[in-house]
Amino acid sequence: MTRQVSYSSWRVSRTLYGVTFVLLYLLVPAVAAAVLDVPTPYVPSTQSNVDEMLRLAAVRPNDVVYDLGSGDGRVVISAARDWGARGVGIELDAKLVAESRELARRDGVVDRVSFREGDVLKASIGDATVVTMYLLTPLVNRLEPRLLAELKPGTRIVAHDYGFAEWKPDRHVHVSKNFYLYVVPARVAGKWQVTVSLPTASREYELELAQRFQEIKGGARVTGGYLPAFDARLVGERIEFVLVDDHLSYRFEGRVSTHAIEGVVRWGHGPRQQESTWRATRLTAVTEG
């Protein structure tokens, strides 16, 4: 009798467990989606943290600084007041937007800053040269494709505490808190026709590059061979790589535009280098970086 009761209890428990598991299985996607949509709670950055963010971004007077989730506006106001830049704050809370405008008037920077009530996932940000954010990880990662698609190459992004999951920072600084610097890379993946103007004659290569964010690799196809691109680097719209051709190292530096790269190439023995120009034209359509 005891065994029968125990067995029945086990069957009931197993059934309840199964029902609970199914309910949890069905609810997890909804819970995950809900978590993603929860706004980042307002936690103001200290002034020292604001200073570190703007210092890491190397803000200059000609910059336009966007703060996503701008709270009481202290990042944008500091960018204008202390660094001479212009700034835009995007904030969902209307009361904080009103407070930001009042603080901007108090600090005498109302002519160089503006504050918009809106969703950071929908706001227009294309004219930013610097973007700062103190947002939770789910929102940061949802912003990533928009930032890469809409911001110009060379735009600096500084994330306070919560960086991107896949995109490695160009620099990570820890000063009481963690700050991550990302420089929006130009899109260079694909094939390029390279022409080098050497003193004796022109040299041509077909350069092929693979790209993952700012990390690039590849090489140049030449008649009868392949030259790996050594020490390849991409910082914003600036690209560098080395090709070793006929026992000489050719060091390429250039600036990337949508359909072309132009720059300087150096080579030679010892400290005295020869220098010439090079140009590359895109052979394949722009691909995602």
Cα–Cα distances (Å) from 282 to 97, 154, 193, 209, 233, in that order, read: 45, 20, 6, 11, 18
Predicted local distance difference test score (pLDDT) of residue 208: 97
Q: What share of the chain is helix, strand, coil (3-state, %, to 5)?
A: 30, 35, 35
User: Alpha-carbon Rg of the chain, whole angstroms?
Assistant: 26
Checking if the pLDDT of 192 tops 80, the result is yes
Q: How confident is the model at residue 288 (pLDDT cuts 50, 70, 90)?
A: low
Mean pLDDT along residues 178-202: 94
Helical H runs in 107-230?
Answer: 137-150
Q: Are 53 and 66 in contact (CB under 8 A)?
A: no
Is pLDDT above 60 for 289?
no
Give how far Cα 35 sits from Cα of 31, 82, 139, Å: 6, 36, 10
The average pLDDT across 237-251 equals 95
Reported confidence tier of residue 271, pLDDT bands at 50, 70, 90 = confident
Question: Does residue 272 register a pLDDT over 90?
Answer: no
* pTM, rounded to two decimals: 0.84
Give the tens place of pLDDT for each residue, 14-68.
344 444 433 334 444 444 444 445 456 788 889 999 999 999 999 999 999 999 9
* pLDDT band (50, 70, 90) for residue 223: confident
174: β partners: 178
More confident residue, 222 or 13: 222
DSSP per position, 57-118: TT--TT-EEEEES-TTSHHHHHHHHHH--EEEEEES-HHHHHHHHHHHHHTT-TTTEEEEES
Cβ atoms of 107 and 100 within 8 Å: the answer is: no
Rounded to the nearest integer, the mean pLDDT of the chain is 88
Cβ atoms within 10 Å of 1's Cβ, excluding its own: 5
Residue 70 has pLDDT above 80, yes or no: yes
The CA-based dihedral angle spanning residues 28, 31, 36, 41, taken in that order and rounded to the nearest 10 degrees: -140
Cβ-Cβ contacts under 8 Å for 194 (sequence gap 6 or more): 204, 205, 206, 207, 220, 278, 279, 280
Q: What pLDDT, on the 0 to 100 scale, is given for residue 39?
A: 59
Q: Are 274 and 198 in contact (CB under 8 A)?
A: no
Continuous H helices in 117-244: 137-150
Report residue 148's pLDDT band, with 50, 70 and 90 as the boundaries. very high
Element (H, E) at 7: helix 2-37
**pLDDT tens across 84-120, in order?**
999 999 999 999 999 999 999 999 999 999 999 999 9
- pLDDT at 230 > cutoff 50: yes
- In angstroms, how far is the first alpha carbon of the chain from the final one? 69
| CB-CB contact of 72 with 43 (8 Å) | no
Return the bridge partners of 194, or none: 205, 280
CA distances from 206 to 150, 215, 229 (A): 29, 20, 12
